[in-house]
Amino acid sequence: MIEYFIDSASSFSGDIDNLFFVITLIIGFWFFLVFGALVYFILKFRRKDGLKAQYITGEKHSETKWTHYPHYAVIAMDVFIIAANILVWVNIKQTLPPKDNLIRVIGQQWSWSFVDAGQDGVLDTADDITTVNDLHVKV
């Protein structure tokens, strides 16, 4: 959905954008659900004249289920997010495209050195091209 608004910076940016969108939808769903329940319970159970508040310890099963069931639902959504994250990770990091260029990058204190593999595609041979602070990539 976001790819309609912003130009993609890479081939897998759409997967990452969709992952953010899924996470935002799930978090938004839980936010509005909890906020709506909070407003509902505040209005329904507000103080009434002549009625004493009830003390609830939260030790009975019927009382703890109000905590456990939403907790299980949130864990299920987290598992869904993790599964979506793993799919994106596999698409990005595990299924790599074939190598196009082989370049050795050496970081130095005040510069970068680049060693291009040359025509044979093997580093440390006579046809290697070495440059400092200039990287030229064949397209």
Domain ranges of the chain: 2-94, 103-132
Largest CA distance in the chain: 95
pTM of the predicted model, to two decimals? 0.62
CA distance 63 to 57: 8
C-alpha pair distances (Å), 104 with each of 36, 42, 116: 56, 63, 7
CA distance 28 to 30: 5
- What pLDDT, on a 0 to 100 scale, did the predictor assign at position 5? 66
Q: What is the mean pLDDT of each run of 10 residues along the chain (139 residues)?
A: 68 84 92 96 89 82 85 93 92 78 90 89 87 84
CA distance 40 to 32: 12
Helix runs in the chain, H state only: 13-44, 61-89
